[in-house]
């Protein structure tokens, strides 16, 4: 069949069109896989919470920081993982529910083995198309270094004040 024949042209264009569709689908699937890997393995912990504080999703980085498996973490109330911070978590949700974003809020989480970790949270809300609360977008960073610096500064200041008092006497 020759290309200038009507059926030949149809077959040619149909074939090219199919290749374009498959190329588009392959490219999008590859891009989707890359984005999934980007979020799951980002150097920053991330999670989504629904309006009542249930963990909807968490990336692998957050699971690693806290030591939980997806089954142990996702679907559970966030309060279960920061039991010493209930008032603060309620205040965070109040702020987010009012349409405000939060930034650099220090929160202590408990790891699976019971250890306290100091984290900083930045968050805002992704709203549904109808304007209702969809889920939070939480980004979490380790705050341990700052806590250590603050403690060292406090000790140094106390020691300086103690030495000053001793020199005066």
Whole-number pLDDT of residue 10: 52
> Which long-range CB contacts under 8 A does 66-69 form with residues at least 24 apart?
66/109, 66/111, 66/112, 66/117, 67/111, 67/112, 67/113, 68/112
> What are the tens digits of pLDDT across the range 111-132?
999 999 999 999 999 999 999 9
Superfamily covering domain 43-168: PAS domain (3.30.450.20)
Whole-number pLDDT of residue 47: 97
**Where in the chain are the domains?**
1-40, 43-168
């Amino acid at each position: 069949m020759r290309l200038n024949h009507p059926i030949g042209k149809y077959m040619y264009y149909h074939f090219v069109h199919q290749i374009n569709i498959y190329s588009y689908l392959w490219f999008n699937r590859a891009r989707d896989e890359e984005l999934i890997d980007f979020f799951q393995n980002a150097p920053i912990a991330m999670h989504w919470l629904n309006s009542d504080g249930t963990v909807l999703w968490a990336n692998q980085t957050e699971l690693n920081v806290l030591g939980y498996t997806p089954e142990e973490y996702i679907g559970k109330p966030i309060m279960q993982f920061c039991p010493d911070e209930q008032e603060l978590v309620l205040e965070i949700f109040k702020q987010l529910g009012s349409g405000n974003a939060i930034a650099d809020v220090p929160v202590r989480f408990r790891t699976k083995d019971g250890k306290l970790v100091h984290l900083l949270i930045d968050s805002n809300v992704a709203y549904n198309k109808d304007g209702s609360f969809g889920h939070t977008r939480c980004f979490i960073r380790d705050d341990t270094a700052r806590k250590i610096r603050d403690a060292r500064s406090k000790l140094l200041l106390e020691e300086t004040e103690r030495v000053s008092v001793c020199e005066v006497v």
